């Protein structure tokens, strides 16, 4: 059930940090928190997803953003996070409310138990009248396990909290049908299918880690959960209220009127691919029709080094994604079962188990509303070619 009074606001580094000096943009932050204070008085619950800590930290460390590596950015996050939160704390105090920092990693969102724990924490903060400020925990994450951009992080938070709106404030006024610097570029007011715009949205800002493409990916995640995404320019004067009141133009990515369950949304909208399985085309048709889960005998190949309980992407032999689901086995156990179908799981693994790798109840079929992932081309274990001898 979508919470109509709940709004997630995402603000990018280019708005929060002066690009030349890598210092806080105090005027914008005052406008931002002033609007949040006004929304809170109207009974709205607001969650802020904020970039900026790495950019501020790089300034404090004297590092060049264009040349900073992973370790530089991790150190910058450690320095920049308390600096940014201190700025928010001071300004929020002027408006009469308090803030809390919620640092999240991709694992916190991809692991079901940690996802629920994170949701409970943020919900309790809202119940206590405190503004949660969410950011990725860049101090401990590496390129391989990070969310990668705060657009998709904000969308996952919006899904988690069943928010009615996700407002993404950025450096331009919304989506265009091509690069807005090109002659004849047209502003797009409403988007129903974000897939139509992915190819024209691949640039990023000098400070941020995401561009318009990640905003479209985030919008798709939010859509699936029944949350509308508004993309607008973050002006100093009423950056939030002018958009919500229709006084400043924006692009709206329209929410699905029949959203999936919170369980299905969590399972299908992934940040990273833990692994995947390619199934033969005949059983792929049965999976699509809802007749079966993924059985060991259906497996053509396995991609990635995954563990029990990970969410896998299921492809057919033509490379088309069929479904996503929770695996009962790690990649090595799944391969052993697929290679030795004449033996029981107990004989192979040493314990009693079914040979169903993903149960049908833990498998969600992909619909047109979902953005499909490309099938991995490396780390492939072909069942027909691998020998255990």
pLDDT, tens digit, 9 for 90 and up, residues 64-80: 888 888 888 889 889 99
**So what's the pLDDT on residue 207?**
43
CA gap 237, 34 in Å, rounded: 10
Q: How many helices, marked H, and strands, marked E, lie in the chain?
A: 13, 18
Question: Pairing between strand 131-136 and 45-50?
Answer: parallel
Give the bridge partners for 279, in sequence order. Answer: 299
Structure confidence by residue, pLDDT tens digits, 77-134? 899 999 999 999 999 999 999 999 999 988 899 899 999 999 999 999 999 999 999 9
- What contacts 289, CB < 8 A, 6 or more positions away? none
3-class DSSP assignment, residue 346: helix
**So what's the pLDDT on residue 144?**
45
Low-confidence ranges of the chain (pLDDT < 70): 141-148, 202-210, 378-380, 384-389
Alpha-carbon dihedral sign for residues 196, 200, 205, 210: positive
Q: Return the CA Rg of the chain.
A: 22
Angle between helices 150-161 and 112-127 (to 10 degrees): 70
Tell me how far CA of residue 65 lies from CA of 5, 60, 72, 205, in angstroms. Answer: 38, 12, 9, 11
**So what's the pLDDT on residue 385?**
58
**What is the enclosing helix (H) or strand (E) of 268?**
helix 262-268
**So what's the pLDDT on residue 145?**
44
**So what's the pLDDT on residue 15?**
94
**So what's the pLDDT on residue 88?**
97
Confidence (pTM): 0.89
Please give the structure tokens belonging to residue 333.
């156990």
**So what's the pLDDT on residue 124?**
98
Give the bridge partners for 358, in sequence order. Answer: 294
Tell me how far CA of residue 286 lies from CA of 189, 298, 315, 327, in angstroms. Answer: 40, 10, 13, 18
**So what's the pLDDT on residue 208?**
42
Q: Which of 52, 50, 98 is nearest to 79 (CA)?
A: 52
CA gap 68, 324 in Å, rounded: 36
């Amino acid at each position: 059930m979508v919470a109509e009074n709940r709004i997630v606001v995402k603000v990018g580094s280019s708005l929060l940090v002066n690009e030349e000096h890598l210092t806080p943009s105090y005027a914008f932050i005052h406008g931002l928190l002033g609007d949040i204070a006004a929304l809170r008085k109207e009974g709205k619950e607001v969650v802020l997803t904020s970039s900026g800590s790495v950019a501020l930290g790089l300034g404090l460390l004297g590092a060049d953003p264009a040349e900073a590596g992973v370790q530089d950015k991790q150190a910058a996050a450690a320095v920049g996070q308390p600096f940014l939160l201190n700025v928010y704390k001071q300004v929020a105090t002027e408006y009469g409310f308090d803030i809390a920092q919620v640092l999240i990693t991709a694992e916190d969102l991809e692991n079901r138990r940690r996802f629920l724990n994170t949701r409970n924490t943020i919900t309790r903060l809202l119940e206590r009248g405190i503004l949660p400020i969410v950011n990725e925990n860049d101090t401990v994450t590496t390129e391989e396990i990070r969310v990668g951009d705060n657009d998709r992080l904000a969308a996952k938070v919006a899904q988690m909290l069943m928010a009615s709106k996700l407002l993404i404030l950025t450096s331009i006024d919304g989506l265009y049908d091509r690069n807005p610097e090109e002659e004849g570029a047209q502003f797009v007011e409403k988007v129903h299918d974000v897939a139509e715009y992915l190819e024209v949205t691949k640039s990023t800002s000098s400070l941020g880690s995401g561009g318009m493409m990640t905003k479209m990916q985030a919008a798709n995640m939010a859509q699936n959960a029944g949350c509308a995404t508004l993309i607008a320019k973050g002006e100093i004067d009423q950056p939030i209220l002018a958009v919500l009141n229709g006084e400043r133009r924006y692009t709206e990515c329209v929410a699905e009127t029949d959203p999936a369950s919170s369980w299905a949304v969590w399972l299908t909208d992934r940040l990273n691919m833990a692994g995947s399985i390619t199934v033969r085309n005949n059983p792929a048709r049965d999976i699509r029709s809802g007749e079966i889960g993924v059985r060991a005998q259906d497996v053509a190949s396995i991609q990635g080094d995954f563990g029990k309980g990970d969410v896998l992407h299921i492809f057919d032999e033509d490379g088309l994604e069929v479904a996503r689901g929770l695996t009962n086995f790690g990649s090595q156990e799944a391969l052993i079962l697929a290679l030795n179908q004449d033996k029981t799981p107990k004989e192979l693994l040493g314990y009693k188990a079914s040979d169903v790798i993903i149960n049908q109840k833990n498998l969600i079929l992909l619909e047109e509303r979902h953005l499909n992932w490309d099938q991995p081309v490396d780390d492939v274990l072909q069942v027909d070619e691998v020998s255990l001898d």
